[in-house]
Amino acid sequence: MNEAMPWSYQLAFLIRVLVATLCGGAIGLERTKRLKEAGIRTHCLVCCASALIMIVSKYAFADLTANGEFFFGARGADPARIAAQVVSG
């Protein structure tokens, strides 16, 4: 996969990260109003990082797939493992 990624994909990734960050900001704003310790900045960072990790989990293993099916010969390269670690915290 030596081709450059089309700009439309890059824009879609950027929009996903921005939407996740805005949603985290909304949650953080609510928590700040209730005087909780984790506020806007914390939730924005967590949501942004989670969105980036999920994008990497979904698209970083494109080299290891053949015709849309995962190549199980690659040792330890299971994209679902990354997503599982994000969910478990």
Q: Beta-strand (E) ranges in 1-89?
A: 65-66, 69-70
Rounded to whole angstroms, the Cα distance separating 78 from 57 reads 9
pLDDT digits (tens, 9 = 90+) for 41-83: 999 999 999 999 988 888 776 666 555 555 555 556 677 777 7
Burial label, 26 (beta-carbon count in 10 A; 0-12, 13-18, 19+): middle
Maximum pairwise Cα distance, the chain: 51
Task: Give CA 10 to chain center in angstroms.
Answer: 13
pLDDT digits (tens, 9 = 90+) for 23-37: 999 999 999 999 999
Q: What pLDDT does residue 24 have?
A: 97
The domain spans of the chain are 7-88
